[in-house]
Amino acid sequence: MEVSEEKKNEVIEIDLGNKKLVIERPVDEEKMYSNILSMVERVDNEPDINYIWSGIKKGTFGYIFGPAKSGKTILAENLAMSISAKKSHFLGMPIDCTGIESVLFMSMEEFWVNRSVRNRKQLSVLKNINIDNFKYNVVTETFPLTMEFDEDWAKMSATITDSRADLVVIDSFTRLTWDDVEKSRIGSILSRRLKNITTELGITMVVIHHSAKITDSTLDLANMAGSRVIGQEADFILGVNRLSNNTRYFKEVATRYKQEDEFVTTFKIDENLWLEEGRTVAESKLFGSFDHRENPDNEQLVLNSVKRLTKNSDTVKTSEVLADLEGKIGKTTLYGYFENLEEKGMIDRSKKSYLKIIK
């Protein structure tokens, strides 16, 4: 008869001031920390992880966002098709297809016929496609239109697995639920679930999302609907904007693993619904033809916010006004309105980081 060897435990006591926390664990249990030099040496033995395009690093999760009709879906489709066709560049930026053999586009926004008609035009731009190697799949009308139940999420994971997709594009975040994704709890649960699928299946995931309503404003993180919680899970956040003069442009808004490009890339959409690269320019230069600070509705919105927040005090922090107008006016644009209101003698900014209504 064999006698099993009794495992030895170690006892760790942690002094919490008014009491002690006692933790007992097996001596041979793997520790959940390591010296930083050991971790660096460990990663040196791992293969390099490539950037597929822009801030999209292989194996990561993030968003492409922007206002309605800005070209988000078309940009995502063009990019996914370019990757499937093994193109070297898209919109002037290099593509590295290493480790990306199959792409899956999960469209939940529109009827399959309308999407397929658009896709037919887009495919006409790609010359000499090898159909055997062009592994770009799309979901059919049998795929759930929302992720309302656990079985719907199971179908999503199964569909990704069955298609052998390495890169998945979902259109769009708001279609995943009937609830309001801008509510912190809803948005947080959805984004964490998508991030978990990305990690568990070892894929790269790009999710299309909308911005708050913006008019002739620069793109920043505050513009993305529900950005306070949704953006926490993202490894990259890429933006697409369309100004009132019909200028469209792409911007790296936030990326976890690289420095964002300080310039944006303008583009046009041709008759085949394919992006034509324009120029690379500082975002602020695109607003030279009109002064976005002179929108009287937005200026009044800022003034009303300052008045409301100073109702019970003489001053208010600029950060509080920014938080109050989150999703309505971007930070860069907001400071432009502050300057305008100060020039008109309506607010006082003499105290740094504070605003005061002049009565």
Query: What digits encode the pLDDT tens for the residues 43-88?
Result: 888 888 899 999 999 999 999 999 999 999 999 999 999 999 999 9
- Per-residue pLDDT tens for 187-201? 888 999 999 999 999
- Helix-helix angle 331-343:296-309, to 10 degrees: 80
| Mean pLDDT computed over every residue of the chain | 87
The pLDDT value recorded for residue 295 is 66
Q: What is the spatial distance between Cα 328 and Cα 214, in angstroms, rounded to a whole number? A: 7
Amino acid at 200: E
Nearest CA to 307 among 295, 294, 320? 320
The pLDDT value recorded for residue 13 is 76
Q: What is the spatial distance between Cα 91 and Cα 355, in angstroms, rounded to a whole number? A: 42
The answer to whether the predicted template modeling score (pTM) of the entire model surpasses 0.85 is: no
The percent of residues above 70 in pLDDT, for the chain, comes to 93
Per-residue pLDDT at 290 exceeds 70: no
The pLDDT value recorded for residue 292 is 45
Q: What is the spatial distance between Cα 111 and Cα 102, in angstroms, rounded to a whole number? A: 23
The pLDDT value recorded for residue 7 is 63
Among 116-125, 216-225, 259-268, 311-320, the range scoring the smallest mean pLDDT is 216-225
Question: Cβ(146)–Cβ(178) under 8 Å?
Answer: yes
Q: What is the mean pLDDT of residues 276-288?
A: 88
H or E element at residue 333:
helix 331-343
The pLDDT value recorded for residue 291 is 47
Residue entry with tokens 């070209």: 71
Nearest CA to 225 among 237, 242, 235? 237
The pLDDT value recorded for residue 353 is 86
Among 193-202, 259-268, 344-353, the range scoring the smallest mean pLDDT is 344-353
Residue with more model confidence, 245 or 83: 83
Per-residue pLDDT at 117 exceeds 60: yes
Q: What is the mean pLDDT of residues 16-36?
A: 76
Distance of alpha carbon 274 from the chain centroid: 22
H or E element at residue 204:
strand 204-210
Q: What is the mean pLDDT of residues 136-151?
A: 94
Domains of the chain, earliest start first = 51-287 (3.40.50.300), 292-357 (1.10.10.10)
Per-residue pLDDT at 184 exceeds 50: yes
Per-residue pLDDT at 141 exceeds 60: yes
The pLDDT value recorded for residue 329 is 79
Q: What is the spatial distance between Cα 275 and Cα 242, in angstroms, rounded to a whole number? A: 13
The pLDDT value recorded for residue 190 is 92
Q: What is the mean pLDDT of residues 197-219?
A: 91
